[in-house]
Amino acid sequence: MSGPSLMDSLFQRTLEDLIKGLRQQLIGEQAFISKALEEIRKEIKSTDLSTKSTALLKLSYLSSLHFHDMAFASFHALEVLSSPRFSHKKIAYHAISLSFHDSTPVLLLITNHLRKDLTSTNEFEVSLSLQCLSRIANVDLARDLTPEIFTLLSSNKLYVRKRAVAVVLRVFEKYPDSVRVCFKRLVENLENYDPQILSAVVGVFCELACKDPRSYLPLAPEFYKILVDSKNNWVLIKVLKILAKLAPLEPRLAKRVVEPVCDHMRRTGAKSLLFECVRTVVTSLSEYDSAVRLAVGKVREFLVDEDPNLKYLGLQALSIVAPKHLWAVSENKEVVIKSLSDADPNIKIESLHLVMAMVSEHNVAEISRVLVNYALKADPEFCNEILNSILSTCSRNLYEIIVDFDWYVSLLGEMSRIPHCQKGEEIENQLIDIGLRVKEVRPELVRVARDLLIDPALLGNPFLHRVLSAAAWASGEYVEFSRNPLELMEALLQPRTSLLPPSIRAIYIQSAFKVLVFCLHTYLMQRESTTSSACPDNLPSGVSASVSYESFDGLSVENGGDAAVTHSLTSTSASMTDESIVNLLNLVEIALGPLLGSHDVEVQGRARNVLGFVDMTKLDLLNPSAQEDKGLERKGVEAYKTIELMHDAFSEELGPVSLTAQGKVPLPDGLMLKENLGDLEMICGDIELPSSNSFSFGSPYEEKVGVSFSNLQIKEDFEQSNESTSLLAEHRKRHGLYYLPSGKSEIISNDYPPANDPTSQGNVNDNSDDLAKLTEESLFPKKKPNHAKPRPVVVKLDEVDEKPIAMKKPEAKDDSLSGAVRDILLGSEDVIPTSSRSNLSGKPSSKRRGKEKQDTDPHVESKENLVDDGNPSSRRRKHHSHGKERRHKSPRKKNAEEREDNGQKEKEKSSHRHGRHKSRRRADELLNVSPQTPVIPDFLL
């Protein structure tokens, strides 16, 4: 046994050999490392501790720099730890803090080693184990070692004590009950004059206060004192951080603190301290104008400094102050704008945020113009950053700051043309959203959409496809505003659309369908008016037919009237001649014909729909004999009605729909969601019947191919939508607004009796109101469109749209750590919140509650007894009386305590005024006195 061990230790590679070998790389890094690992695995099993520790050192090297797992060695690390030699311990501790984590199995075995070293006389060993504990502490370790830490907190070796202080933070975190034991000593250390100790304690409190500032409010006087007295910048920075957390909770503290902070700001030469002062002022003391002015002055110095760090921090400070003091930003406008072209992307982004903070209703146009110009020149990343912030700022709160939507829509169009633009999706959403919400903007929207669609170059940019799909949708949906639908049609069917992904291509085809129906409808209306005298028979039959179907849905009379209005509006700009219609139909056939073989079902299906429609109308309408031969007149009427029908279906107005709308639709009786869709047909038949009735009843010629075709299609639509409500919801979520028409009518048709079928209630002019009413009745109890005078109405759905705005109020989280701290400092958890908010008169009751709670909490007392050699009963008596003092306004006094009241009160006051005499006693006092939060101002003011 001894032989190999000796050989091992004599010829073992040292760490240096390992590193040298790695650097020479004779056999490649990976190969070398795996060879070394093999050696290590062997060596680490050696009984000789030196060999073992060297192996461990090498292993931790490989683990920390080459990230090789060293979990297998965790037990060996413990073995090395038990070595009496300091150098071994050091290696072992290093390895352990590098590799151990909460679920390391041998963690249980380390407790005794740590305890032994924590009580060692060698301060470096103590320090090593503290260091290690700070890294690997878990609940058990923290609990078991709390007594040792407690002892070390008042060690007379400063070196040990400051480390113990730092470690306390981790122990508290893992095992909040240790607060009851250690907190008092920690607070005592706050009184220490040694800067190292003070720095450590303040660091701990800084971390603690970040998590739950309210619990540490009673310590404010101490922090204030440090702020005034300390000369150490490290300490001051931490104290400022603590005070910045506390000040917003206690206005009197803020008032008190603002002067010293300003003093530091004026005097200090250290930039880090200066910046901390500035940050404290802008985050927590922003009500104090003079302080803010001073801070902003310092920020300006930062901004014009050569050092990019200071510039960056200055911009950051400005963006903190911006929401409350916008003047600070506008005063530095030039610097901010200039920073937009800084070399550093971080600075650019900060200044962009600031610029966006300055945006208001009045300047949004100019600022956007400037920014878009910047975006044109900027690198792709920053360009998109700019676009993103414009988009999000402008759409904030439902386009709150936009007055001129025409401008905004054209800006969106312009933005999508910027070469680096990758925000297609967001632009798409906004274009559609605005189209739905703002009726007045639709003509402009169609114009912008047309410009986008008509440019064949844009089709080549995949980032723009989403924008184009929005443009296609808008131009189809609002085609009645188009100046030249034929041109739109050409744009929608241009050959380069083959570059589009199928899903967007399907939207193109659907829009083309809408445009086609619109054109045909216009053409028919035209022909009707010109040929009405020539063929008097044609018209009446057409009218009677449409009336016959209108009679089933009372409202479509308006619909027809409205269509006529639209027709007369557009006929001036786009008059349809026979020739143009023939061309149009031919174009559709040529463009969509090849798509019948498309692999994408959506594209293929829609193309087939359109072509079927074209076939039918072409046969019926444009056959010259059909127009003359009265025998075939029926067919013309047939086609006419189909077109009318489709037109009505498409001119149904869309509005925004609440995200939760689907959930509010009650599940229809008898609706069963089954996997076998064949079964569904029967179930859906019931629901579907009313809606399909409203279409088919209008046609006396149901058996005709054309009508049954269109009927079928509609039926399909409905079937699809009725198949499963949940499926539809998901589907709509994915495809957003394109599915609104069917979705909308489906939702309501599920809800409404057939007589009120909403597909026929649609009316282009009143529809948003109708929709509002409908949704109001069926979905939302309260819904008011926002009627702001100067700007167009933006339709809002109260529930959904406000949801993102109404922020969840952060709940006061009350984790066990802060609970324990409060228990110690205040005797109760609910004392502080009330006391800091309400004034004196509000306090007594909560004070009493707190006290009572502690009275009934023997656990606390027993814990304190464990560690406190003082007289616990007297302390508690004191405590009672202090609580009492606060309660002097309460009608429910307890006589037993009253007798001590006066003397105790004076004692307490004096101890607070001249607290310096005996630090020990003072700390004692603090614990007990601290429940009286109102005492703080006594001391402070």
Partner 1 sequence: MIHFVLLISRQGKVRLTKWYSPYSQKERTKVIRELSGVILARGPKLCNFVEWRGFKVVYKRYASLYFCMCIDQDDNELEILEIIHHYVEILDRYFGSVCELDLIFNFHKAYYILDELLIAGELQEPSKKTVARLIAAQDSLVETAKEQASSISNIIAQATK
Residues near partner 1, by CB under 8 A:
2, 5-6, 9-10, 15-16, 19, 23, 48, 50, 57, 60-61, 63-65, 67, 69, 85-88, 90-91, 94, 98, 101-102, 124, 130-131, 134-135, 159, 162-163, 166-167, 169-170, 195-196, 199-200, 203-204, 207, 210, 232, 234, 237, 241, 271-272, 275-276, 279, 308-309, 311-313, 343-347
What is the closest distance, in whole angstroms, from the C-beta atom of residue 338 to partner 1 in the complex? 16
AA letter at 244 = A
Q: 781: buried, middle or exposed (CB in 10 Å: 19+, 13-18, 0-12)? A: exposed
What is the closest distance, in whole angstroms, from the C-beta atom of residue 5 to partner 1 in the complex? 7
The smaller minimum CB distance to partner 1, of residues 170 and 851, is found at 170
What is the closest distance, in whole angstroms, from the C-beta atom of residue 687 to partner 1 in the complex? 49
- The CA distances from residue 632 to 505, 621, 639, 643, in Å, are 37, 10, 11, 17
The smaller minimum CB distance to partner 1, of residues 15 and 800, is found at 15
Between CA 292 and CA 320 the distance in angstroms is: 12
The smaller minimum CB distance to partner 1, of residues 156 and 839, is found at 156
The smaller minimum CB distance to partner 1, of residues 309 and 575, is found at 309
The smaller minimum CB distance to partner 1, of residues 53 and 749, is found at 53
H-type alpha helices, 622-724: 624-628, 633-651, 661-664, 677-696, 705-723
What is the closest distance, in whole angstroms, from the C-beta atom of residue 65 to partner 1 in the complex? 5
- The CA distances from residue 689 to 9, 761, 768, in Å, are 91, 18, 26
SS percent in the chain: helix, strand, coil, step 5: 75, 0, 25
Angle, vertex CA 399, rays to CA 397 and CA 404, nearest 5: 155
What is the closest distance, in whole angstroms, from the C-beta atom of residue 317 to partner 1 in the complex? 11
The smaller minimum CB distance to partner 1, of residues 274 and 329, is found at 274
What is the closest distance, in whole angstroms, from the C-beta atom of residue 237 to partner 1 in the complex? 5
Angle of helix 158-174 relative to helix 123-136, nearest 10 degrees?
20
End-to-end CA distance of the chain: 77
* CA dihedral (825, 827, 829, 835) positive or negative: negative
Between CA 622 and CA 524 the distance in angstroms is: 11
The smaller minimum CB distance to partner 1, of residues 201 and 545, is found at 201
What is the closest distance, in whole angstroms, from the C-beta atom of residue 85 to partner 1 in the complex? 5
Between CA 36 and CA 24 the distance in angstroms is: 14
What is the closest distance, in whole angstroms, from the C-beta atom of residue 318 to partner 1 in the complex? 15
Residues near 613 by beta carbon (within 8 Å), at least 6 away in sequence = 513, 516, 517, 642, 646, 709, 710
The smaller minimum CB distance to partner 1, of residues 240 and 525, is found at 240
Residues near 334 by beta carbon (within 8 Å), at least 6 away in sequence = none
SS3 794: strand
Backbone angles phi, psi at 794, to 5 degrees: -110, 115
Q: Which of 847, 867, 870, 923 is nearest to 180 (CA)?
A: 867
What is the closest distance, in whole angstroms, from the C-beta atom of residue 594 to partner 1 in the complex? 46
The smaller minimum CB distance to partner 1, of residues 249 and 826, is found at 249
DSSP 683-712: HHHHHHHHHHHHHHTT-S-TTSHHHHHHHH
Between CA 823 and CA 830 the distance in angstroms is: 10
The smaller minimum CB distance to partner 1, of residues 347 and 390, is found at 347
Between CA 710 and CA 727 the distance in angstroms is: 24
The smaller minimum CB distance to partner 1, of residues 105 and 597, is found at 105
What is the closest distance, in whole angstroms, from the C-beta atom of residue 14 to partner 1 in the complex? 11
- Token pair 């109404």: residue: 806
The smaller minimum CB distance to partner 1, of residues 237 and 610, is found at 237
The smaller minimum CB distance to partner 1, of residues 278 and 359, is found at 278
What is the closest distance, in whole angstroms, from the C-beta atom of residue 23 to partner 1 in the complex? 8
What is the closest distance, in whole angstroms, from the C-beta atom of residue 161 to partner 1 in the complex? 12
CA 434 to chain centre: 23
Q: In the numeric block, which tokens belong to residue 224?
A: 């204030």
The smaller minimum CB distance to partner 1, of residues 211 and 420, is found at 211
What is the closest distance, in whole angstroms, from the C-beta atom of residue 6 to partner 1 in the complex? 5
What is the closest distance, in whole angstroms, from the C-beta atom of residue 770 to partner 1 in the complex? 47
Between CA 691 and CA 755 the distance in angstroms is: 9
What is the closest distance, in whole angstroms, from the C-beta atom of residue 561 to partner 1 in the complex? 59
Between CA 488 and CA 446 the distance in angstroms is: 10
The smaller minimum CB distance to partner 1, of residues 60 and 928, is found at 60
The smaller minimum CB distance to partner 1, of residues 313 and 436, is found at 313
What is the closest distance, in whole angstroms, from the C-beta atom of residue 347 to partner 1 in the complex? 6
Between CA 604 and CA 599 the distance in angstroms is: 7
Between CA 516 and CA 492 the distance in angstroms is: 11
Between CA 182 and CA 175 the distance in angstroms is: 11
Other CB atoms within 10 Å distance of the CB of residue 237: 21
Backbone angles phi, psi at 761, to 5 degrees: -80, -15
What is the closest distance, in whole angstroms, from the C-beta atom of residue 180 to partner 1 in the complex? 21
Between CA 904 and CA 113 the distance in angstroms is: 47
Please write down the long-range contacts of 151-160, taking CB distance under 8 Å and 24 or more positions apart: 151/119, 152/118, 152/126, 153/182, 153/185, 153/186, 153/188, 153/189, 154/185, 154/188, 157/123, 158/194, 158/196, 158/197, 159/123, 159/127, 160/123, 160/126, 160/127, 160/130
The smaller minimum CB distance to partner 1, of residues 313 and 352, is found at 313
SS3 786: strand
The smaller minimum CB distance to partner 1, of residues 174 and 882, is found at 174
AA letter at 608 = R
What is the closest distance, in whole angstroms, from the C-beta atom of residue 271 to partner 1 in the complex? 5
